[in-house]
Amino acid sequence: DAIYREEEAKADRFAGRVLAELGAKPDALCEFLRANEAFEARKPSDYYPADVRAQIIQGAFQRRGRALELKKRDLLGNARATIRELR
């Protein structure tokens, strides 16, 4: 079960990164997970509880968002430097 749980956590991290790439917020997905957890007859052991999964998704989203912002700043900074050099 631990291996399955970590594979599911990888999928959640991937979802967070993809949402950041798309410029979408993870809030709706996290709320969906939390809302549907109440309908499960028994708590599954092959993935983390909804609150933990939501934290994983939001953490990956924030990290990827910061990385994209830094990359954007770096690209813009390099482009501006190149333009200044060409003048």
53-73 average pLDDT score:
93
Say yes or no to pLDDT of 2 above 80. yes
Alpha-carbon distance 2 to 52, whole Å? 15
- Give the global pTM: 0.82
Looking up tokens 């798309």, which residue turns up?
Answer: 22
| Tens digits of residue pLDDT in 10-35 | 999 999 999 999 999 999 999 999 99
Measured from the Cβ of residue 86, the count of other Cβ atoms closer than 10 Å reads 6
